[in-house]
Structure 1
Protein backbone atom coordinates (compact mmCIF):
# COMPACT_ATOMS: atom_id res chain seq x y z
CA UNK A 1 0.00 0.00 0.00
CA UNK A 2 1.54 3.33 -0.99
CA UNK A 3 2.11 5.96 1.66
CA UNK A 4 -0.40 8.37 0.08
CA UNK A 5 -3.15 5.75 0.17
CA UNK A 6 -3.18 5.78 4.00
CA UNK A 7 -3.59 9.55 3.96
CA UNK A 8 -6.52 9.37 1.54
CA UNK A 9 -8.18 6.57 3.52
CA UNK A 10 -8.11 8.63 6.72
CA UNK A 11 -9.26 11.80 4.95
CA UNK A 12 -12.19 10.02 3.34
CA UNK A 13 -13.31 8.40 6.62
CA UNK A 14 -13.48 11.59 8.67
CA UNK A 15 -16.58 12.39 10.64
CA UNK A 16 -19.00 14.63 8.77
CA UNK A 17 -18.57 18.35 9.48
CA UNK A 18 -20.59 20.12 12.13
CA UNK A 19 -24.06 21.34 11.23
CA UNK A 20 -24.95 25.01 11.65
CA UNK A 21 -26.89 24.19 14.82
CA UNK A 22 -23.89 22.34 16.26
CA UNK A 23 -21.57 25.27 15.48
CA UNK A 24 -24.00 27.66 17.14
CA UNK A 25 -24.24 25.50 20.26
CA UNK A 26 -20.46 25.10 20.39
CA UNK A 27 -19.96 28.88 20.12
CA UNK A 28 -22.32 29.42 23.05
CA UNK A 29 -20.60 26.80 25.20
CA UNK A 30 -23.47 24.32 25.07
CA UNK A 31 -23.47 20.61 24.35
CA UNK A 32 -23.14 20.09 20.61
CA UNK A 33 -22.94 16.29 20.50
CA UNK A 34 -26.43 15.75 19.07
CA UNK A 35 -26.98 16.77 15.47
CA UNK A 36 -30.57 17.78 16.04
CA UNK A 37 -31.20 21.46 16.53
CA UNK A 38 -32.28 22.75 19.90
CA UNK A 39 -35.55 24.50 20.59
CA UNK A 40 -36.31 27.16 17.96
CA UNK A 41 -36.07 30.81 19.00
CA UNK A 42 -39.74 31.53 18.22
CA UNK A 43 -40.84 28.66 20.44
CA UNK A 44 -38.72 29.91 23.35
CA UNK A 45 -40.07 33.45 22.98
CA UNK A 46 -43.66 32.16 22.87
CA UNK A 47 -43.10 30.11 26.04
CA UNK A 48 -41.46 33.06 27.83
CA UNK A 49 -44.37 35.34 26.93
CA UNK A 50 -46.82 32.73 28.22
CA UNK A 51 -44.90 32.57 31.50
CA UNK A 52 -45.00 36.37 31.83
CA UNK A 53 -48.76 36.38 31.25
CA UNK A 54 -49.25 33.67 33.87
CA UNK A 55 -47.17 35.63 36.40
CA UNK A 56 -49.35 38.74 36.11
CA UNK A 57 -53.04 38.53 36.98
CA UNK A 58 -53.69 41.78 35.13
CA UNK A 59 -52.15 40.43 31.91
CA UNK A 60 -54.09 37.21 32.34
CA UNK A 61 -57.39 39.11 32.66
CA UNK A 62 -56.53 41.24 29.62
CA UNK A 63 -55.72 38.14 27.59
CA UNK A 64 -58.90 36.35 28.69
CA UNK A 65 -60.93 39.37 27.59
CA UNK A 66 -59.12 39.49 24.23
CA UNK A 67 -59.68 35.75 23.71
CA UNK A 68 -63.36 35.89 24.85
CA UNK A 69 -62.69 33.18 27.41
CA UNK A 70 -62.89 32.83 31.16
CA UNK A 71 -59.74 33.47 33.17
CA UNK A 72 -59.51 29.74 33.94
CA UNK A 73 -59.66 28.82 30.24
CA UNK A 74 -57.03 31.41 29.40
CA UNK A 75 -54.80 30.23 32.24
CA UNK A 76 -55.09 26.65 30.94
CA UNK A 77 -54.23 27.80 27.41
CA UNK A 78 -51.07 29.64 28.50
CA UNK A 79 -50.03 26.78 30.78
CA UNK A 80 -50.25 24.47 27.76
CA UNK A 81 -48.21 26.94 25.69
CA UNK A 82 -45.60 27.17 28.43
CA UNK A 83 -45.36 23.37 28.63
CA UNK A 84 -45.10 23.09 24.86
CA UNK A 85 -48.34 21.13 24.46
CA UNK A 86 -50.30 21.45 21.20
CA UNK A 87 -53.45 23.57 21.07
CA UNK A 88 -56.49 21.51 22.01
CA UNK A 89 -59.66 21.43 19.94
CA UNK A 90 -62.25 23.71 21.61
CA UNK A 91 -64.75 21.72 23.66
CA UNK A 92 -67.56 24.14 22.82
CA UNK A 93 -68.29 25.17 19.27
CA UNK A 94 -70.32 28.17 18.23
CA UNK A 95 -73.62 27.57 16.43
CA UNK A 96 -72.21 28.58 13.08
CA UNK A 97 -69.43 25.97 13.50
CA UNK A 98 -71.85 23.08 14.02
CA UNK A 99 -73.46 21.09 11.25
CA UNK A 100 -77.23 21.27 10.66
CA UNK A 101 -77.65 17.80 12.13
CA UNK A 102 -75.95 18.80 15.37
CA UNK A 103 -78.11 21.94 15.69
CA UNK A 104 -81.43 20.09 15.66
CA UNK A 105 -81.18 16.44 16.73
CA UNK A 106 -84.93 15.85 16.02
CA UNK A 107 -84.52 16.14 12.24
Structure 2
Protein backbone atom coordinates (compact mmCIF):
# COMPACT_ATOMS: atom_id res chain seq x y z
CA UNK A 1 0.00 0.00 0.00
CA UNK A 2 2.79 2.43 0.90
CA UNK A 3 4.71 1.84 -2.32
CA UNK A 4 1.64 1.98 -4.52
CA UNK A 5 0.50 5.31 -3.07
CA UNK A 6 3.99 6.71 -3.56
CA UNK A 7 4.16 5.44 -7.14
CA UNK A 8 0.70 6.74 -8.00
CA UNK A 9 1.42 10.18 -6.60
CA UNK A 10 4.81 10.27 -8.35
CA UNK A 11 3.33 9.35 -11.73
CA UNK A 12 0.51 11.85 -11.32
CA UNK A 13 2.99 14.61 -10.53
CA UNK A 14 5.17 13.55 -13.47
CA UNK A 15 2.24 13.74 -15.88
CA UNK A 16 1.09 17.09 -14.55
CA UNK A 17 4.61 18.51 -14.76
CA UNK A 18 4.86 17.46 -18.40
CA UNK A 19 1.47 19.00 -19.22
CA UNK A 20 2.30 22.26 -17.47
CA UNK A 21 5.69 22.40 -19.19
CA UNK A 22 4.08 21.88 -22.60
CA UNK A 23 1.42 24.52 -21.96
CA UNK A 24 4.03 27.06 -20.84
CA UNK A 25 6.23 26.25 -23.84
CA UNK A 26 9.43 25.09 -22.14
CA UNK A 27 12.05 23.07 -24.01
CA UNK A 28 11.76 19.26 -23.88
CA UNK A 29 14.94 18.92 -21.77
CA UNK A 30 13.64 21.41 -19.21
CA UNK A 31 10.24 19.72 -19.13
CA UNK A 32 11.68 16.24 -18.58
CA UNK A 33 14.25 17.38 -16.03
CA UNK A 34 11.65 19.17 -13.94
CA UNK A 35 9.16 16.33 -14.35
CA UNK A 36 11.66 13.73 -13.12
CA UNK A 37 12.63 15.87 -10.12
CA UNK A 38 8.98 16.46 -9.27
CA UNK A 39 8.24 12.75 -9.71
CA UNK A 40 10.96 11.75 -7.22
CA UNK A 41 9.82 14.32 -4.66
CA UNK A 42 6.15 13.38 -5.09
CA UNK A 43 7.00 9.69 -4.79
CA UNK A 44 8.77 10.34 -1.47
CA UNK A 45 5.86 12.44 -0.21
CA UNK A 46 3.42 9.74 -1.36
CA UNK A 47 5.31 7.09 0.54
CA UNK A 48 5.19 9.20 3.70
CA UNK A 49 1.44 9.67 3.21
CA UNK A 50 1.02 5.94 2.56
CA UNK A 51 2.99 5.07 5.69
CA UNK A 52 0.82 7.40 7.79
CA UNK A 53 -2.35 5.98 6.22
CA UNK A 54 -1.19 2.44 6.98
CA UNK A 55 -0.61 3.31 10.64
CA UNK A 56 -3.99 5.00 10.95
CA UNK A 57 -5.78 2.11 9.26
CA UNK A 58 -3.96 -0.49 11.38
CA UNK A 59 -4.82 1.31 14.62
CA UNK A 60 -8.46 1.69 13.60
CA UNK A 61 -8.77 -1.98 12.69
CA UNK A 62 -7.11 -3.08 15.94
CA UNK A 63 -9.56 -0.99 17.98
CA UNK A 64 -12.49 -2.33 15.96
CA UNK A 65 -11.31 -5.92 16.46
CA UNK A 66 -10.92 -5.41 20.21
CA UNK A 67 -14.44 -3.97 20.39
CA UNK A 68 -15.87 -6.92 18.46
CA UNK A 69 -13.93 -9.39 20.64
CA UNK A 70 -15.21 -7.67 23.80
CA UNK A 71 -18.81 -7.82 22.57
CA UNK A 72 -18.39 -11.48 21.64
CA UNK A 73 -16.95 -12.29 25.06
CA UNK A 74 -19.85 -10.55 26.82
CA UNK A 75 -22.37 -12.41 24.67
CA UNK A 76 -20.70 -15.75 25.40
CA UNK A 77 -20.70 -15.01 29.14
CA UNK A 78 -24.40 -14.15 29.05
CA UNK A 79 -25.12 -17.33 27.11
CA UNK A 80 -23.16 -19.42 29.61
CA UNK A 81 -25.03 -17.81 32.52
CA UNK A 82 -28.44 -18.54 30.98
CA UNK A 83 -27.45 -22.17 30.32
CA UNK A 84 -26.30 -22.57 33.93
CA UNK A 85 -29.61 -21.16 35.18
CA UNK A 86 -31.58 -23.55 32.96
CA UNK A 87 -29.54 -26.59 34.00
CA UNK A 88 -29.50 -25.84 37.74
CA UNK A 89 -31.83 -28.21 39.66
CA UNK A 90 -34.63 -26.62 41.59
CA UNK A 91 -34.35 -26.91 45.37
CA UNK A 92 -36.49 -29.61 46.93
CA UNK A 93 -39.56 -28.52 48.83
CA UNK A 94 -40.08 -29.84 52.39
CA UNK A 95 -42.84 -32.19 51.18
CA UNK A 96 -40.65 -33.76 48.53
CA UNK A 97 -37.83 -34.30 51.00
CA UNK A 98 -39.92 -36.80 53.09
Give the TM-score of the pair, scaled to structure 2: 0.32
Which of the two has greater helix per residue?
2
Give the TM-score of the pair, scaled to structure 1: 0.30
Larger gyration radius, structure 1 or structure 2:
2
